[in-house]
Amino acid sequence: MRRTLPIFIVLAVLLVAIAAVNPYFLEPPAFLAFVKRAAPLVILAAGQYFVIVSGEFDLSVGSLVTAEVVIAARLIDGSAEATWPVLGLMLVLGLLAGLVNGVVTTLLRVPSFITTLGMLLILSGAVFLWTGGAPRGALSAQFRELGRGSLGPVPWSVLILVVAGAVAIWVMRSDFGHTLVAAGDNDRAAALSGVRVARVRTVAFMISGLAAAVAAILLGGFAGVSAQVGVGLEFQAITAVVLGGVALGGGRGSVVAAMAGAFTLEALFTLLNLYGISGALEPAVQGVIIIAAVALGAVSLPRRRAAAS
């Protein structure tokens, strides 16, 4: 709790600051629109949290999102009947990419930084090889409904986010969640007390892949097909998780705080836009704030060695 509190204070301050400039922001329609915009990143951050708390990295999620959207557009090609099978296929692909990441990292003992970097290269290369350089095809209206449309006043993506968040919290409270944290904190000790570290970490990678697939479904609907849709998302997700006070190297932090970190990042983007610091200086401000936030969170804690070993 001591570690999760700061991010909620920061998030509250940012939301109040946005509301001060734009009084309508805290009213339901505008706020739901904000949550809808944040949903893909929050889901990605929740997935990334599982990998980071188990002591690893997943750099492949950004290219996985791009690959999923491009593949979906090519397979659906505007037809309504293909929508649901392709949605299922996307989830399976996400799980599969996570499985490969996990198996290569745990059984072949390749540092996850390199495994997922390799996966990034392979995915982005393979997808564009297949489509010949530019995304082709189109998503169907049914597909885009998930990212754009709403059920009554509540957008679908907000509902999906609530379900994903609830599942993530439930998983972390289950036995699996405890073994995951134990594996991240000290994998030898966990292994000696009977945790199957390799299996637990592989499942964490599969959850991250699944989260990337869900984020791809939402982003594809929200933003449409483009080869740029997932660019930089892996770093944003890792940043969000770290902003939430989760230690790189594993074993510490909560999934709720990681998701709050993603909301904070999105609120920060919104605020910078409101103050007209869009485009050019935005990355610089973002960089300063990330370093400052992590520095403030880290001062009282003992330093951990780099995760990749």
Partner 1 sequence: MTEHVKQRRVPARVTYLGWMSSDRPARAVYVALILLVALGWVLFEVDGGRFLGLENIVGIQQRSAALGIVAVGQTVAILAGSLDLSVAYLISLSSLVAAEIMAGGDAGVLPAVAAVLAVSAAVGLVNGLVITGLKVHPFIATLGVALIIRGALDWRYDGPAGSVPASFQHLGYDRIGPLPVSALLWAAVAVAAWFLLSRTRLGHRIYAVGGDAEVARLSGVRTGRVVIIAHVLCSVCAGIAGLLLASRLGAGAPTVGTDGGYDLESIAAVVLGGTALAGGRGGVAGTVGGVLLLAVLDSVFNQLEINSFAKDVVRGVVLVAALAIYARGRRTK
Q: Catalog residues that contact partner 1 under the rule CB under 8 A.
A: 57, 104, 108-111, 113-115, 117-122, 124-126, 128-129, 133, 235, 238-239, 242, 248-249, 279-288, 290-291, 294-295, 298-299, 301, 303-306, 308-309
If the CB atoms of residues 155 and 249 are measured against partner 1, the closer one turns out to be 249
Phi, psi of 142 (to 5 degrees): -65, -40
If the CB atoms of residues 39 and 120 are measured against partner 1, the closer one turns out to be 120
| Minimum CB–partner distance for residue 231 and partner 1 (Å) | 11
If the CB atoms of residues 89 and 298 are measured against partner 1, the closer one turns out to be 298
If the CB atoms of residues 153 and 279 are measured against partner 1, the closer one turns out to be 279
| Minimum CB–partner distance for residue 255 and partner 1 (Å) | 19
Structure tokens that stand for 272 in this block: 């910078």
| Minimum CB–partner distance for residue 304 and partner 1 (Å) | 8
How many CB atoms are closer than 10 A to CB 282? 14
Residue 52 and residue 185: Cα distance in Å, rounded? 11
CA distances from 293 to 79, 240, 243, 273 (A): 46, 11, 7, 20
| Minimum CB–partner distance for residue 269 and partner 1 (Å) | 12
The residue to which tokens 């292994």 are assigned: 191
If the CB atoms of residues 68 and 155 are measured against partner 1, the closer one turns out to be 68
If the CB atoms of residues 146 and 272 are measured against partner 1, the closer one turns out to be 272
Q: What is the DSSP string of 210-242?
A: HHHHHHHHHHHHHH-S-TTTTTTHHHHHHHHHH
If the CB atoms of residues 25 and 57 are measured against partner 1, the closer one turns out to be 57
| Minimum CB–partner distance for residue 281 and partner 1 (Å) | 5
How many CB atoms are closer than 10 A to CB 119? 25
| Minimum CB–partner distance for residue 297 and partner 1 (Å) | 9
| Minimum CB–partner distance for residue 246 and partner 1 (Å) | 11
Q: Under 8 Å CB-to-CB from 144, ≥6 apart: which residues? A: 220, 221, 224
Q: What is the DSSP string of 38-103?
A: HHHHHHHHHHHHHHHHTT-----HHHHHHHHHHHHHHHHTT-STTHHHHHHHHHHHHHHHHHHHHH
